[in-house]
Structure 1
Amino acid sequence: MTRASLITTALSRPILSATGSGSLFPAPTSTTAGNVDELFYFILAVSIAFFAIIVVAMFTFIFKYRAKENFEIEPSPNHNNLLEVVWTAIPALLVGVIFFWGFVSYLDMRQAPDNSYEIQVTAKKWSWSFTYPNGHVDNNLHVPIDQPVKLVMSSDDVIHSLYIPAFRLKMDLIPGRYSTTWFEAHTAGDYTLFCAEYCGTQHSTMLAKVVVHPSGEFKTWLDNAANMLKTMTPVEAGEILYTRRGCVQCHSVDGSAKVGPTFWNVFGTQQALTDGSMIEVDENYIRESILEPQAKVRVGYKPVMPTYQGQLKEEEILALIAYIKSLKKAKEVTP
Structure 2
Amino acid sequence: MAIWMLLMNKAMAGSFMPEQGTQIAKQVDNLYGFLLVVSFISCAILIGGMIYFVLKYKRKSAHDKTAYITHDTRLEVLWSAIPLIIFLVVFAWGWVLYHDMRKMPENALEIMVMGRQWSWTAEYKNGVKSSEIVVPVGKDVKLILGSEDVIHSFFVPSFRIKQDAVPGRYTSLWFNATKLGEFHVFCTEYCGTSHAAMITRLKVVTQEEFDKWLIEESEVGLLPIAERGAKYFQTRACASCHNVDNPAAKIGPSLYQRWGKEAHLSNGTTVPFDENYVRESMMLPQAQLAAGFSAPSPMPSYQGQLSESELAAIIEYIKGLN
**Structures share a fold, TM > 0.5?**
yes
Deviation at 1:173, TM superposition (A): 1.6
- Contact 2:247-2:255 within 8 A present in 1 as well: yes
Name the CA distance, whole Å, in 1 between partners of 2:4 and 2:298: 51
Name the CA distance, whole Å, in 2 between partners of 1:226 and 1:313: 17
Cα RMSD, aligned residues only: 2.3
SS in structure 2 opposite 1:216?
Answer: helix
Deviation at 1:14, TM superposition (A): 5.6
1:67-146 matches, within 5 Å, as: 67-69=59-61, 71-146=63-138
Name the CA distance, whole Å, in 2 between partners of 1:44 and 1:104: 19
Name the CA distance, whole Å, in 1 between partners of 2:318 and 2:101: 44
User: Which residue does 2:243 correspond to in 1?
Assistant: 252
Name the CA distance, whole Å, in 1 between partners of 2:188 and 2:231: 26
The alignment-based identity, stated in percent, is 39
- Contact 1:16-1:24 within 8 A present in 2 as well: no
User: Which residue does 1:10 correspond to in 2?
Assistant: 3
Name the CA distance, whole Å, in 2 between partners of 1:148 and 1:311: 30
In structure 2, relative to structure 1, the CA distance for the partners of 1:309 and 1:136 (3 Å cut) is farther
What letter is aligned with 1:198?
A: Y
SS in structure 2 opposite 1:263?
Answer: coil
Q: Which runs of 5+ in 1 are unaligned?
A: 1-6, 331-335
User: Which residue does 1:307 correspond to in 2?
Assistant: 301
- Contact 1:156-1:306 within 8 A present in 2 as well: no
Deviation at 1:37, TM superposition (A): 0.8
SS in structure 2 opposite 1:191?
Answer: strand
1:291-302 matches, within 5 Å, as: 291-301=283-293, 302=295
Q: How many residues align?
A: 319
Per-residue Cα deviation, 1:109-147 (whole angstroms, up to 9, x for no partner):
111112111111111122111111111111101011111
SS in structure 1 opposite 2:185?
Answer: strand
1:235 maps to 2:229 = no
Per-residue Cα deviation, 1:234-255 (whole angstroms, up to 9, x for no partner):
2233234333321111111211
Per-residue Cα deviation, 1:262-315 (whole angstroms, up to 9, x for no partner):
112322333344566543322133223223323433332241111233443433
1:268 maps to 2:257 = no
Q: Which runs of 5+ in 2 are unaligned?
A: none
Name the CA distance, whole Å, in 2 between partners of 1:24 and 1:228: 41
- Contact 1:16-1:23 within 8 A present in 2 as well: no
TM-score (norm 1): 0.87
